[in-house]
Amino acid sequence: MPPGTAPRPETRRAPDADAHLLAALRAGDESAFAALVTRYHATLKRVARAYVSTDAVAEEVVQDTWLAVIAGIDRFQERATLKTWVFHILVNKAKSRGKRERRIVPFASLSRDDDGPAVSADNFQREGEAWPGHWATPPRPWEDPERRLESLEARERLREAIAALPDVQQAVLTLRDVEGLDAPEVCGLLELSDGNQRVILHRARARVRADLARYFEEPA
Amino acid sequence: MSFDEIVCREFAELATDYLDGALPDATLELVEEHLAMCDWCRDYLGQIEATAAAVSHTPAAAPAPETLQALVAAFRDRPKEDRP
């Protein structure tokens, strides 16, 4: 894809992919509810984990969220998509649980310099070298990434790389790149500025890219 | 950041802003000039895109079966509101 023609997710508004689920849920269809839970449970947990201290507490927050969804489904107004509504319930519950744990809300304090650069300075030439700021260790081209990333082994590596990210980066990466929420939705949900949201997303992508690069450099 | 040129180290931070169409015009122009002449940064950009695409095909794990059963039971037993 030539530069500048990349899709711009925030300008594209997909219809609610879960609309059919909503009708079924309101009709009391248990398999629709099971499908909804199966589809979003782990994602919700990853987002909750950015606000609370342990996986066990995050799991409780997610289960509370589902109970609130059950209680509220008949009154849900469809001003947002079903998915966005569920995520808002989750974030509210996770935030108040985090406050009770006296955990500082992690998103508030992030800025561009907190966590070092997306790509380590060691990869670039230093002042005094021939081309300061240019690649010293350039990215090696990936051979046929789509095909290689289909293997079970690659998927497992990818899952590990995501799981190893700091909680906040996992939350933003999951919402943007796994769930496909657009930038304004994620900013509204996590109360992030547009700039911070993108810095966090980019750091997450850059770390996962570095892990995948190591994978691609291993003999196939 | 210098104002007349972007170097690779700077582009490495801006790739997601670029893909999101979030760069101010002046920076966008410098980024496109840089990409036109830097194969390595084009490779890097392609790898960031490939990473985002790969992540999007990584479904999260399903909930524990007993959790799912308990939640479905709660759904089944929910108090029904008056509906038209």
Say whether the ipTM exceeds 0.90: no
Distance from the A105 Cα atom to the nearest Cα atom in chain B, whole angstroms: 24
Give residue-wise pLDDT tens across range A3-58.
444 444 444 445 667 788 899 999 999 999 999 999 999 999 999 999 998 999 99
CA-CA distance, A219 to B43, in Å (whole number)? 20
CA–CA min distance B21, chain A (Å): 6
Q: Could A3 and B58 be called an inter-chain contact, meaning their C-beta atoms sit closer than 8 Å?
A: no
Distances, alpha carbon A103 to alpha carbons A51, B8, B15, B73, in Å: 7, 38, 32, 33
Contact B46, A169 (CB under 8 A): no
Q: What is the CATH number of the domain that holds B63?
A: 1.10.10
- Give the residue extent of every domain in chain A: 19-100, 113-217
The pLDDT, as a whole number, for residue A82 is 92
CA quadruple A146, B31, A2, A15: dihedral sign: positive
CA distances from A139 to A124, A180, A214 (A): 11, 27, 10
Instruction: Spell out which residues of chain A touch residue B42, defining contact as CB-CB under 8 Å.
Output: 3
Does residue B15 belong to any structural domain of this protein? yes
Average pLDDT, chain A: 86
CATH number for the segment(s) A113-217? 1.10.10.10
Contacts B9 to A, Cβ<8 Å: 117, 119, 121, 124, 133-134
**Percent of chain A residues past pLDDT 90, beyond the cut:** 64
In a domain, residue B82? The reply is no
Q: Cβ contact (<8 Å) for A71 and B19? A: no
For chain A, percent of residues with pLDDT exceeding 70: 86
End-to-end Cα distance, chain B = 62
Of A41, A133, A209, the CB nearest to B8: A133
Secondary-structure percent of chain A, ordered helix, strand, coil, rounded to 5: 60, 0, 40
Global confidence as pTM: 0.85
Q: Residues B16-59: pLDDT tens digits? A: 999 999 999 999 999 999 999 999 999 999 999 999 999 988 77
Domain count, chain B: 1
Nearest to A43 among B42, B54, B60 (CB): B60
Residue of A nearest to B81 (CA): A74
In a domain, B28, yes or no: yes
Summarize the confidence of residues A80-86 as an average pLDDT. 91
- pLDDT at residue number A117: 86
Contact across the interface for B58 and A173, Cβ inside 8 Å: no
- B-chain residue closest to A28, CA distance: B76
Of B17, B32, B72, the CB nearest to A34: B72
**What is the arithmetic mean of pLDDT over A154-162?**
92
Decide if pLDDT at A184 tops 60: yes
pLDDT tens, position by position, A107-152 = 655 544 456 788 988 999 999 999 999 999 999 999 888 888 888 8
pLDDT at A5: 47
Chain A residue with Cα closest to B36: A3
Q: Which domain holds residue B37?
A: 8-76
Q: Report the top-level CATH class of A19-100.
A: mainly alpha
Examine residue B53 and state whether it is found in any structural domain, yes or no: yes
Write down the pLDDT at residue A3. 46
How many residues make up chain B in this entry?
Answer: 84
| Nearest beta carbon to residue A134 from set B8, B15, B53 | B8
Q: Is residue B67 part of a domain?
A: yes
pLDDT in the model for residue B82: 53
Mean per-residue pLDDT, A179-184: 91
Q: Are B40 and A139 inside 8 Å of each other by CB?
A: yes
Residue B1 lies in a domain: no
- pLDDT computed for residue A56 by the predictor: 95
Query: Which pLDDT score, from 0 to 100, does residue A162 have?
Result: 94
Q: Whole-angstrom Cα distance, residue A44 to residue A87?
A: 7
